[in-house]
Every structure is written in C-alpha cells, then in structure tokens.
Structure 1
Amino acid sequence: MQTCCPIVELRQYTLHPGKRDVLIDLFDREFIEPQEALGMNILGQFCDLDDPDRFVCLRGFQDMASRAAALQAFYGGPVWKAHRETANASGFALETSDRSPRGSKEIPGGIVIGTIYYFDAPVNSAFIDFFERVMKPVLAETGAAILASFVTENSENTFPALPVREGENVVIWFARFSNQADYDRYLATLTQSPNWRDEVLNELTIHRNIAQEVLRLSPTARSQLR
C-alpha cells in the first residue's frame, strides 16, 4: 500500500455542541509544533462536513514503539498540561502541501475524501493487490487525486491511555478534490465508468462482507493535507 508514514492514526472526535472551532483554534495554534518536536508527523486536521461537531485528524509515526514514547511525552508534558482543560471542555479528551504558519486563518478551498472499507477479517494480500493494480487506476482516471492509502495495523495499542478502535479491519484511502462540485463530477464519472462497473464492482461484490464509510473533510487553516 502507498503510505506517507509507516504508522498513521485516524482520530475522530465528537465534540460538545458548538465547540469545534474552539478546538481547531487551539490545535492549530498550540499542538502541531510540540507534537512534531517529539517525532510525530501531524498530517492533517479537518472539519467533518457531515457532522458539525466532529473533528478529524491524522498523525504519523515511524513505528509503534516510537508512537508510545511520543504520546507519553506529549500527554505527560507541559503543553498538554497547560491546555488540556480548554481541550477537554471542547470534547478533546484522552479517550501534502506546505503547512501555513502559526496564526493563519484562511481556510483552504478544497476537500479531502476518506473512503473506508470495513472487513470482518484481516485484509488479505489479494485485496491489497487488487486495490493497487486495478482499483486505484480506475479511481484516478475518473478524477480522484489519490493522496495515500492504508491498511489496519493490528499490533497492540502501545499507549493505552489513548484508546483506539481495536479488532477492526479496514482499508482506507484519501483523495483530494478542488471543491464539492469537482467531487460530484467525479462521482458521476465513476458511476458511468465501464472499468468501474466491469473491473471493480464485480470484484467488490465477491467481498460481500465489505461495508463502506465515506468521510467528507474540510481542511483547517494549518492542515498539511488540503
């Protein structure tokens, strides 16, 4: 699979009503550089366009051991301790383009789409090969600018103080679109594509245990992915 980091976390936070902008301002202003100084890569922060109280972020690590060390250092360190009450009040509790500088407020115009396929068993190499060899070219030729794709890391959570959804098996891929109209055109083109119908849908039908979720994400002012 194409990856930007060996280990990437997709974190989705459902916040207290009306508090998302408070968290975004805090995260973009105070939390990016301190986390990256500890070895994390803060890949992207987003508003969920279909849920006004959901904040989504992606952060990358070199491996599970460095993830544990970095998270322990951050959540046990001075930056989190100084701002955790504000973050927790918003609901943020412990449970690639260039980034804009601190203080930036201009929201990028594009949207990022995350498509998640859920399986009831670990994702096998045959599906990964199918995605890379057949599915990804069809997605690209119908208008999806694919950013990255990932498969579940089934290792034990190395930082239990920050829970993750364990026991789930997914493939997720991200794509960039210039705006909602561009995304709508892509969906229409994909639906009408003979290659999608004949080469991809038939194969997906074989995997009858697949469920799909689509995240429509609007990058924050300082998101690397935009």
Structure 2
Amino acid sequence: MPTPTTMSSATVIELRQYTLRPGGRDVLVELFERELIEPQEASGMRVGGLFLDRDDADRFVWFRGFADMAARQLSLESFYFGPVWNEFRDAANSTMLDSDDVLLLRPADPARPAPEPAEGRASVGSTNLTDEWVIVSVYVHAPDPSFTRWLNEDFHGAVQQELDVPVATFRSEPAKNNFPALPVRTDNAFVWMAAFSDGSQYEDARRRLEGSKTWQDDLAPRLRAKLTNRECLRLQPTARSQHPRSGPAAGAKP
C-alpha cells in the first residue's frame, strides 16, 4: 500500500488528542515511543508530531498521515488487527480515559504544509526534550466555503505575517470515516499550526499578533461572529516527535 514519505505528502491527516489517567502520560509516551511508532509506519501510515500538552499534564496529542482514504483503511486494519497492537493495547488503553477526540483532516486549498522536521527521528530510548513550542489552533464553524477560503487566504496571510513563522493549514476531510472502530469528531474544522524555537519567541509572536490592528479590527471580530468553538493547544514535542521545524517564515526579514 502507498505510504507517505513525509507528513507534508499525506493527503489525509488525523489530529488525535487523548485524555489520560492522572500520571499516565509518561507511561503512555514511553510505551508509544518504544513500541508503537515503527509498527504503525510499517503498516503504511506516517507518524508525525508527538506532543505533551503544556496546559494539561494528562493530555497527549499526536498526528499521523495517510496517502489517501483507501490507504487509511488498509493501514489501520493492518495495524489494529495485527500482533503488535494485540500485544500492547491493554497497556496503552489502561492509561486512557478518552481517546475519541480525533479530527480527520486534509490539507487546506491551496495546500500550506508544515515545514519538515529539522532532523530525523531520534532513536528508541531517547529522552531529550527541546523547549520548542508548537501551537495548534482548532476553529470549529458551520460549513461555509467562503469563510473557509477567507481563513486559508486572508486570515492565513495576516497571521503568518504577524507571527513571522510558517503557518500550516488543514480542513476537515469530508469523506466518511472508513475505520469506525476508531471514532472521529463530526465537527467542521479549520486547523492551523505554527512552531517556535522556545517560549519567548512564541510569546513575542502572540503579543505581536493579538496587539495588531488587523487582529483587533478585522480578524478577531470575524472569528467571534463565525466560530462555534475554538481550541488552542500549546504543545511540547516528545523526544521522538517528527514535528514541524521552527524558524522564520519564508521571506522574513532578518
């Protein structure tokens, strides 16, 4: 089956958020990074960013990508009906209170993929964490092609200019979930993501964006009028994460 060589080449993406039992996150991350990355990729999917939620010690967030919806079904069947998940599922599931907070996404149009990771995946057993910050914003709204177009064009351009880092964008995949054993949310969502080298760079960028006249007079009022829900995830990559490379946006001033 076709396998995306990178997350940016995936046409179907899952954004998965797990609510864990108190103290369970370290257990799950150690198990996940030791046993569950390479077998998933051997089944035809690409495991991308793996994250600790900086605002919730009992939340684990991760991305994985697929070549297309047909490949997604085959890959998930291969992994979840296979020997590796059969061996480790009880240990993994014992750490979780909820694993159904999942958005099925596709690249926005035009595609604005996240920058590829600066380095290859760390080896099994690595425990080094960086101080990088990855921000994932989820905007839920009623289906509205013109609003989606505004988000991915005017909104994206203004946000990327103020943040001064690349901003990746995704939208809900409209196809029916073809692996119902793993539920997905039915929300219509627009998701944008940006990576920062550390907390200081993120805070400077956030203040610059939210203090701008464009944000206050145009972007924020339109979002308030259209969004039915919004989430902002402030994330720290795990040791073996393949998250977007942090750095200035293309064409940014030195």
* TM-score relative to the length of structure 2: 0.80
Asked whether 1:183 is paired with 2:202, we answer: yes
Q: Deviation at 1:133?
A: 2.4
Q: Distance in 1 between matches of 2:160 and 2:196?
A: 12
Contact kept, 8 Å, 2:152 with 2:169, in 1: the verdict is no
Asked whether 1:170 is paired with 2:189, we answer: yes
Contact kept, 8 Å, 1:7 with 1:63, in 2: the verdict is yes
Q: Deviation at 1:126?
A: 1.6
Aligned pairs for 1:97-116 (under 5 A) are 97=117, 98-116=120-138
Aligned to 1:153: 173
Higher-RCO chain (CA-CA 8 Å, sequence separation at least 6): 1
Structure 1: runs of 5+ lacking an equivalent:
none
Q: Distance in 2 between matches of 1:164 and 1:33?
A: 23
Please, what is the CA RMSD of the aligned residues? 2.0
Q: Deviation at 1:12?
A: 0.8
2:86 alignment partner, one of 78, 81, 84: 81
Q: Distance in 1 between matches of 2:224 and 2:31?
A: 44
Contact kept, 8 Å, 1:94 with 1:161, in 2: the verdict is no
Aligned to 1:90: 95
Q: Deviation at 1:51?
A: 1.1
Aligned to 1:225: 243
* TM-score relative to the length of structure 1: 0.89
Change (3 A) 1:139 1:4: farther
Q: Deviation at 1:194?
A: 2.1
Contact kept, 8 Å, 1:43 with 1:58, in 2: the verdict is yes
Aligned to 2:61: 56
Q: Distance in 2 between matches of 1:147 and 1:74?
A: 31
Q: Distance in 2 between matches of 1:91 and 1:195?
A: 41
Q: Distance in 2 between matches of 1:6 and 1:31?
A: 22
SS at match of 2:174: coil
Q: Distance in 2 between matches of 1:178 and 1:80?
A: 34
Q: Distance in 2 between matches of 1:155 and 1:8?
A: 12
Contact kept, 8 Å, 1:144 with 1:175, in 2: the verdict is no
Q: Deviation at 1:165?
A: 1.4
Change (3 A) 1:5 1:52: same
Q: Distance in 2 between matches of 1:107 and 1:205?
A: 36
Change (3 A) 1:8 1:54: same
2:52 alignment partner, one of 44, 47, 50: 47
User: 2:240 is matched by which residue type in structure 1?
Assistant: R
Moved beyond 4 Å, runs of 4+: 92-95
1:138 alignment partner, one of 140, 158, 170: 158
Structure 2: runs of 5+ lacking an equivalent:
1-7, 101-115, 245-254
Q: Sequence identity, in percent?
A: 42
Q: Distance in 2 between matches of 1:170 and 1:87?
A: 28
Q: Distance in 1 between matches of 2:10 and 2:132?
A: 23
Say which is worse superposed, 6-15 or 80-89, in terms of deviation: 80-89
Q: Distance in 2 between matches of 1:134 and 1:93?
A: 36
2:38 alignment partner, one of 20, 33, 44: 33
Q: Distance in 2 between matches of 1:81 and 1:93?
A: 19
Deviation per CA, 1:72-128: give whole Å up to 9, x if none. 110111111121221122128875313212221101220111101111x22x33223
